[in-house]
Each structure stands twice: as C-alpha cells, then as structure tokens.
C-alpha cells in the first residue's frame, strides 16, 4: 500500500524555522519526483516545490524561493522541506506528494502555523 506520512508541523513564531519530513513506503521512492503543496486556511491549493529522483534538480514557487529548501534521502525513503524565515502567510497544511509525470498520490498533510 502506498503511503506518504508527513511530520514536523507545528506552531512557530514569525522569522522562525521548521523542518517537515515525509516518510514514503509501498512504492519505489527513487522512481518518483516528489512535491510539496500547501493549502492555507480557507484557500486553494498552491504548489510549493519539487525535486527530481536523485535530488539534483529542484524548483520553487516564487513566494518561498530563498527561504525554503527541498531535499530527499533516498536511503531513508524520506522527503524534507526546510522552512526558514517563516511568515504568517506560510500558515497552511503542507502536503507531500509523488509524481511520475503528474501528481498521483498525496499524504494526509501536516499543519504549520506561523504566529506570535
């Protein structure tokens, strides 16, 4: 069974940092690009970042570029999102997802709240 399990969310003050993790199982992790997508409260879905199969190619939404870093550990089947200089507008549920072209499976998400 394919599973993506996010962790690491929580409450953080503006300007703070947080590292999200996504543990993958039930499929060959190294065959898939991986993505982070977020949904702010009451808003729609927003693509945040993706990474290719070996971690050599990454892309970011303009609103997070320079503050967020996506990475993966293929020996641990785990995806990460390091989030620095967090802002109130980064408050959202963050979903980890996989793609073999298009995104076909999503985790349950982890909530990040940026507030003082």
Residues binding other proteins (CB under 8 A):
35, 44-47, 50, 59-62, 95, 97, 99, 101-109
Eight-state DSSP code of residue 85: S
* Nearest residue to 51 (alpha-carbon basis) of 69, 28, 35: 35
Min dist CB 56 to other proteins, Å, is 15
Nearer to other proteins, 77 or 111 (CB): 111
Considering the complex, state which of residue 80 and residue 95 has its C-beta at the smaller distance from other proteins.
Answer: 95
Rounded least distance, CB 106 to other proteins, Å: 4
**Torsion angle defined by CA atoms of residues 59, 63, 69 and 71, in that order, rounded to the nearest 10 degrees:** -40
User: Which lies closer to other proteins via its Cβ, residue 1 or residue 62?
Assistant: 62
Structure tokens at 1: 């069974």
- Smallest gap from Cβ 63 to other proteins, in A, equals 9
**How many DSSP H helices and E strands does the chain contain?**
0, 11
């Amino acid at each position: 069974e394919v599973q993506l399990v996010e962790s690491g969310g929580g409450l953080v003050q503006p300007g703070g940092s947080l590292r999200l993790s996504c543990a993958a199982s039930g499929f060959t992790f190294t065959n898939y690009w991986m993505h982070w997508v977020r949904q702010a409260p009451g808003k729609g879905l927003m693509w945040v970042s993706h990474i290719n199969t070996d971690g050599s190619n990454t892309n970011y939404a303009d609103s997070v570029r320079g503050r967020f870093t996506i990475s993966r550990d293929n020996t641990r089947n785990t995806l990460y999102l390091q989030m620095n200089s967090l802002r109130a507008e980064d408050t959202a549920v963050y979903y980890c997802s996989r793609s073999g072209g298009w995104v076909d499976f999503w985790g349950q998400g982890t909530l990040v709240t940026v507030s003082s």
